[in-house]
Amino acid sequence: MVVERSKALETDSDPAALNEQRLVVRHYTVFHASQIDGIPGLETPEATEASRDPDPRVTAIIQNLGVTLVVGGSQAYFRPTRDEIHIPTLGSFASAADYDTVLLHEIGHSTGHEKRLNRRGIIPSAPQTMPRKSCVPRSLQR
């Protein structure tokens, strides 16, 4: 289901309606290819072993930012009071790319620290600040 905002149709008889916006709900039925008879199966390429080494560019970002990286534990998070990024060990992730993605997310949080961009709300004072803060790090993920 998709909800879109659209202008009123020009066919409306009321001229004031032309400046109004309406919500339009559209419903689409989507099928997985395996649910459709008569089409060939999807050929997937043979999996190759992914690199188990973190991307050196991500490591360079950490070094250039000056943030402390703490590896270990079971959660990934940025601790602004200590200017530290905490992340589980590489072996905790399915691939090095997954590790890098989570690390980049936490790097995004660290950019708001007072030593960097000094974004307000980096230390959440209320639960509602978290969704707004996470918009920036999500844009940094691959």
Long-range residue pairs from 75-83, CB within 8 A, at least 24 positions apart, any chain: 76/102, 76/103, 76/105, 76/106, 77/106, 77/109, 78/106, 78/109, 78/110, 80/109, 80/110, 80/112, 80/113, 80/122, 80/123, 81/123, 83/110, 83/113, 83/115
Domain ranges of the chain: 2-35, 56-140
- For the stretch 104-125, pLDDT in tens is 999 999 998 989 888 876 665 5
Q: Is 4 helix (H, G, I), strand (E, B) or coil?
A: strand
Alpha helices in 40-95 (DSSP H): 56-65
- Terminus-to-terminus CA distance in the chain, angstroms? 26
Fold of 56-140: Arc Repressor Mutant, subunit A (1.10.10)
Task: Please state whether the predicted TM-score (pTM) of the whole model is above 0.85.
Answer: no
The pLDDT, as a whole number, for residue 1 is: 62
